[in-house]
Chains A and B, each alone.
Chain A
Amino acid sequence: MPATTENIITVRNLVKRFGSFVANDHLTFEVKKGEIFGFLGANGAGKTTTIKILCGLSYPTSGELSIAGFDIYTQREKVKKNIGYMSQRFSLYDDLTVYENIRFYGGIYGLGKKEIDSRAHALMQRLGFETSRNKLIRDIPLGWKQKLAFSVAIVHNPKIVFLDEPTGGVDPITRRQFWDMIFEAAHDGITVFVTTHYMDEAEYCDRVSIMTDGRIAALDTPDNLKRQFNAPSMNDVFVKLARREEKPI
């Protein structure tokens, strides 16, 4: 599904402070329904903080946030029904099998038994996991785990899925396959909000924001950003922005 003009995430003046440290300094941005939104930034720029606030895992200090049409302060549980989240840390139980993990997460999202079984079946077929249905997670390779974690994050058909560095430590081929899954999800109408350190992945996004020091330094389509910064690739855009913001310590 191509990006629409309808906003599915609206953030106005989001501030998050930890003591005197400001992790998110007046962020304002929108994400359009159906788009793949790349959320880039150097380590420690404040990306994970923002994602956790958007997912309702952490309270913002101030600012207005609307996710999937719901207010994050007053309709937190409704927000949660409509989002999926794949954290930086591994999120499956490695002492449960592939199927048991799907069943558990489907179950706590309130899916019925039949629904869980049919989705688990479809999901494993798509991933080519049919033979590994009863394998423990700890016995399957990392790339497979990440693909499965993504599938589990969207098992309840959310409107938005947040992916926090989903391809960290994954080989290039699996990374490519992973992005095919992201495209497929976007095609099915799920808005994808993704953070990454791989600039080739940034090129796949419909729009990209680059964060430095808790602020959004740039936000546009990859092509426009390259034009704006007169850079041949997203990598150069990132380096230019990061260098500009680099302060002497």
Chain B
Amino acid sequence: MKTILYIIQKEFLQVFRNKSMLPIIFVVPIVQLIILVNAATFEMKHIRISVVDLDLSGTSRRLTSKFQGSPFYQVSHTAFSYKEAEEEMKKGNVDMILQIPAGFEKKLIKESHAKVQFVINAINGQTAGLTNAYSTMILLDFNRDVVVENINSAMVAGLKNIQTDYSYWYNPKLNYKTYMVPGILVLLVTIISLLLSGMNIVREKEIGTIEQINVTPIKKIQFIAGKLIPFWIIALFELAFGLAISKLLFNIPMEGNLGLIFMAASVYIFVILSFGLLISTITNTQQQAMLVSFFFMVVFILMSGLFTSVESMPQWAQTLDRLNPLMYFMKIMRMVLLKGSGFADISHLFWSLVIYAAIIISVAIRRYRKVA
């Protein structure tokens, strides 16, 4: 036990003596949170529309102003022909074209149905889908107004109209930041843990001190514990620091128990540190370790559910994703912070992480050899 303390002491000395370490620990999380949370948003704001109003009637103008009145849209261009609007879209100046055909008002009143056309730039499929959904909702709303005005109220009452009312749970204002912050925090803790642990032992290999340690009677488990505990503490601190910043800057909700978050985090960080240890046993230079870490990191992050929901991945990808530790912790963070889930709700994720930890640390310990 005393031996472990000597290693921990040495690791802390080295970490804090390293001039680039303190900025990494304190500045990186702030920068990442501020930039990523604000930048990585799917929220639709300022969808630029070009309106091609060929009807030029009161009704068509009301439809246009309905869009203009929405915070999501911005009528940035009005055209007198579809061609003109299309040119604007090609130039990338507008995201959507709303075309109101001539005779729109007349048709609507006489035949009680009329058509308008949306043309949406779908280079980004997700954005296009959202734009379409928003636009349809505005149109429906407009439709109801017209019906109410033109048909007498008795008939309105007779219309067996099913109304849908939305209420968004857990994130009532559909605030994207609320959704992103817990995910970015996971990212932060993961990168710090993986790089610190992965680089560290490889560095001792590179400078040759590992040999000097291997020649001592120190036990493998002591050495590994002495190496992992300091980074485990730093990563947990990092998470606490990140949470504090998120609360201060973004005022993210913390519905659930913070103790639960840290309980899950301590297992999760252990998984990532062991993963880093494993990488450092199969590589010989810091450069190799960095490349291998990056490979796994990119796959893990993209499949973690940070940007795209895990549930909408193909079945094989979801199966594969069970090997992705980020996926578990990402879910836990969002569930506990945003929904206020308790231990019973996350227990399957939590135990999965525990099993993951047990497997990966035993592989890493086996792979780490004192004798070549």
Binding site for B on A (CB under 8 A): 52, 55-59, 76-78, 80-81, 83-85, 87, 89-96, 100, 103-105, 107-110, 112
Contact = CB atoms under 8 A, between A and B. Distances in A.
Interface string B1-18: 011011101100110011
Contacts, number: 81
Given A90-B207, A91-B209, A110-B3, A57 B214 contact: yes
B372 A58 contact: yes
A108 B13 contact: no
A52 B212 CA distance: 11
Interface stretch (B57-65, B84-92, B148-156, B215-223): B215-223
B206 to A, nearest CB: 10
Q: Which of B7, B211, B370, B372 has the most CB of A within 10 A?
A: B211
Given A104-B10, A108-B6, A108-B7, A85 B17 contact: no
Interface residues of B, number: 26
A81 B5 CA distance: 19
Contacts of A76: 371
A107 B2 contact: yes
Contact of A107 (B3, B14, B212, B219): B3
A114 B17 CA distance: 25
Nearest to A116: B6
11 contacts: A58-B371, A77-B219, A80-B216, A93-B14, A95-B18, A96-B10, A96-B13, A107-B2, A107-B7, A107-B9, A110-B217
B322 to A, nearest CB: 37
A93 B17 CA distance: 12
B208 A77 contact: no
Q: Which of B2, B209, B370 has the most CB of A within 10 A?
A: B209
B217 A100 contact: no
A100 B207 CA distance: 17
A103 B212 CA distance: 14
B213 interface: yes
Q: Which 10 A-B pairs have the closest CB atoms?
A: A107-B6, A89-B208, A91-B212, A80-B217, A85-B215, A81-B217, A104-B10, A108-B218, A77-B217, A58-B372
Contact of B371 (A56, A92, A95): A56
Nearest to A84: B215
Q: Which of A57, A78, A92, A105 has the most CB of B within 10 A?
A: A57
Contacts of A83: 215
Contacts of B372: 52, 57-59
Contacts of A105: 212, 216
B3 A87 contact: no
Interface of B: 2-3, 5-7, 9-10, 13-14, 17-18, 207-209, 211-219, 370-372
Nearest to A79: B217
Contacts of A109: 216-217
B90 to A, nearest CB: 58
A28 to B, nearest CB: 22
Contacts of B211: 57, 85, 87, 89, 91
B217 A93 contact: no
Contact of B216 (A52, A94, A95, A108): A108
B207 to A, nearest CB: 7
Nearest to A76: B371
A58 B214 CA distance: 10
B371 A59 contact: yes
Contacts of B6: 103-104, 107-108
A33 B370 CA distance: 27
A55 B215 contact: yes
Given A57-B371, A58-B371, A108-B3, A87 B216 contact: no
Contacts of B216: 80, 105, 108-109
Q: Which of A56, A94, A108 has the most CB of B within 10 A?
A: A108
A100 B6 CA distance: 10
Contacts of B370: 56-57
